[in-house]
Amino acid sequence: MKKSKPKRHKRKRTDSRALQQREKIWRDKLCKEIAPKLGYDHSVITDELLNDSDSGRSHLVEAFTHRTFAHEMRQSAPDRRILDNQRLEFLGDSILGYIATINIYRLAPQLSEGELSATRATLINRNTLGDIAIQEGFEFHLRLGRGEPNMGEAARSARLADLTEAVIGAMYLDLGIEHTSRWLWTLLEPFLKLDDAGQGLKHDPKTELQHWAHRMHKLTPTYETKENTIKTKRETTLTFHSQVFLGDTLLGEGEGMTKRLAEREAAKSAFKNKSLSDS
């Protein structure tokens, strides 16, 4: 009696076709939703992202590929060349520092060397870079390994900051320093908290609220922040709702895509309280 042939090889081919289809869909979304925001030429980027391999001239595919995804793909397809975004992250970190430094130097002529360094450190940090990634919609296009989305908020914050740096590195290589500088500073400048004379840093809403609470009531505001998970067929979105209290008194509430953004919005809402703003 003949034994039936195992169907394992057919399943592998099906899995391979499914992977190729998912890859095509992902590249198409990257081309339509992200590349135009960054200033890539549509015809060039369409040809490279949709038709070429990862060795094409554009570095966008590499920028949006997390090391955990690349590791899984290398295990399932050892012969395929899969690049992750760690090298671009390294490059983007230096480009980011350069662009921030020359703009802060130009905009704040009265600041000393130490004040310039403090201003730059306040401007380019994990929180700011993560906010940019969320604001520009980068997060939803990052290819991750299967377990990475469950690593928690701290890991997510670091991952988003690294992604922004990788995008900066990709843009520098693909589009040049002048284009990258204009694009990046447009996003960074709103986070620069200089006073009107360019002589010092303004405080963010949380710091201002803390100063007010210490001055008026000798108390420190406290924040209660909860995660909200919104699931759809295509993706899971994590948002945060925060309430700020002074003792037992609720001062304000806010929502955001990260814990820090939600707390900042709560602090901002507290200043809309008439009795607080008049104090």
Q: What is the DSSP string of 126-190?
A: HHHHHHHHHHTT-GGG-B--TTGGGS-HHHHHHHHHHHHHHHHHHHHHHH-HHHHHHHHHHHHGG
Active-site choice (72, 84, 93, 265): 93
Q: How many CB atoms lie within 10 A of CB 167?
A: 30
CB 114 within 8 A of CB 11: no
3-class secondary structure, 249: strand
Examine the residue annotation and report whether 93 is marked as an active-site residue of this protein. Answer: yes
**SS3 category, 74:** helix
Contact 192, 202 (CB under 8 A): no
- Point out the catalytic residue in the list 62, 89, 165, 265: 165
List the catalytic residues.
93, 165
